Each structure stands twice: as C-alpha cells, then as structure tokens.
Amino acid sequence: MAPSRALRDFLSSALRVNQAGELAATLIYTYQTPRVVAREPHLRPLMQHMHAQEVGHLATFDALLARHRVRPTALYPVWSVLASGLGWATAALGREAAMACTEAVETEIGDHYNNQIRVLLEMVAQWEADGYDVDPELRELLRTLRRIRDEELEHLDHAVEHEAQRAEPHWLLTGVIRAGCRGAIWVSERV
C-alpha cells in the first residue's frame, strides 16, 4: 500500500472518535442498567448483552489506538461525565426514555460508521486502481468497522422493539441526544 498522509489522518481521527464513542456507550449502559433492570427485571439479559458488546467495542478501539499510535481525545474526561449523566438521566425517566436514548445514539453511530466505511472503501478502490497492494490490516479494519456497526444497529432495533417511541416527548429527547452525538463526533474527530 502506498504511504498515505490521508490514511494516517483518517485513522487518527476515526480511531480517536470511535474510542470516545464506545467509552460513552459503555458509560451510558453502566448508568442505565441498574435503574432500568430494577423496574424491569426481564430486561436484564438485554441490557447486559448490549453493555457487554459496548465493552468489547471499547477494548477493540483501545487496542487500535495503541497499535496505530493515536492519542485519545483530549475531551475524554468531559465525555465521561456527560455520558454518565445521560445514562443516569434517561434511566431516571424510565425504560422508554432509556430506550429512546439508545435509539438516538445508535442512529447517529450507525450513520457515522457507514461514513467511515465508505471513506475507507473509496481509499481502497483508488489504491487498487493505482496498482497498489492493500494492506490486509486495512481490510481487517473494514471488517471490524462493519461488525461493530452491525452490532450498534442491532441495539437500535432492540430499542425500537422495547418501545423507545413511547418516551415523552420522543421527538425532543431523541433530537437533543442526536444533536449531542453529532457535536461530540465532530469535536472528537478534531480534539
């Protein structure tokens, strides 16, 4: 593969923001799960499953940051506090609000991962067209991003199945959370 400043910049930004996002998701579930499960014990397996997947995603991006020598976002402490508060607050509002939070976050994250996958596929196609070999590690990163995206979209489906739409007011709650996610993504890509 040709040395590429564009790839290095992309990896630095993408891995940093993905790690921050997975940290946030882990903390959201950490703070939601006890309150949601206390009121809705039948949701324990689902909440534990989604939390465990997020913990796995965070471990994946922690390892990729180290492998590619990418620094975490400077706003790691800020995102930690905000994600913890979001998890706690939405759980305090009830199951529907907690599920609406998952719906909103995973909608934005699914789009975010799709954009990253598209950019990488375009880079790979260009390198192949230019006659360069593509590093197998890059193909593995694409597989990893697709797997994680699919798991995040599974969480979105679970949230909808568990009445995220019944949160009041759904449009406001999900709109604010989605805007917050977009803002956090934009900032974490750069800082």
Cα 64 to Cα 19: distance, rounded to the nearest angstrom: 9
pLDDT in tens, 122-139: 998 998 898 888 889 899
Q: Helix, strand, or coil here: 75?
A: coil
Structure tokens that stand for 169 in this block: 């007011």
pLDDT in tens, 79-96: 999 999 999 999 999 999
The confidence score (pLDDT) of residue 160 equals: 93
Binding-site members for Fe cation are 22, 54, 57, 106, 152, 155
Of the chain, the percentage scoring pLDDT greater than 70 comes to 98
- Whether pLDDT at 156 is above 70: yes
Nearest Cα to Cα of residue 177 among 82, 112, 58, 95: 82
Answer for the pair 127, 3: CB distance below 8 angstroms, yes or no.
Answer: no
The DSSP annotation for 94-150 comes to -HHHHHHHHHHHHHHHHHHHHHHHHHHHHHHHHHHHTTPPPPHHHHHHHHHHHHHHH
pLDDT in tens, 46-73: 999 999 999 999 999 999 999 999 999 9
Binding-site members are 22, 54, 57, 106, 152, 155
User: Which pTM does this prediction carry?
Assistant: 0.90
Nearest Cα to Cα of residue 104 among 172, 16, 19: 172
Enclosing domain of residue 106: 5-190
Query: What's the total number of domains in the chain?
Result: 1
* Per-position b or e across 181-190, b if 16+ CB within 10 A of its CB: beebbebbbe
Amino acid identity, position 183? G
Confidence of residue 2 (pLDDT cuts 50, 70, 90): very low
Cα 167 to Cα 94: distance, rounded to the nearest angstrom: 8
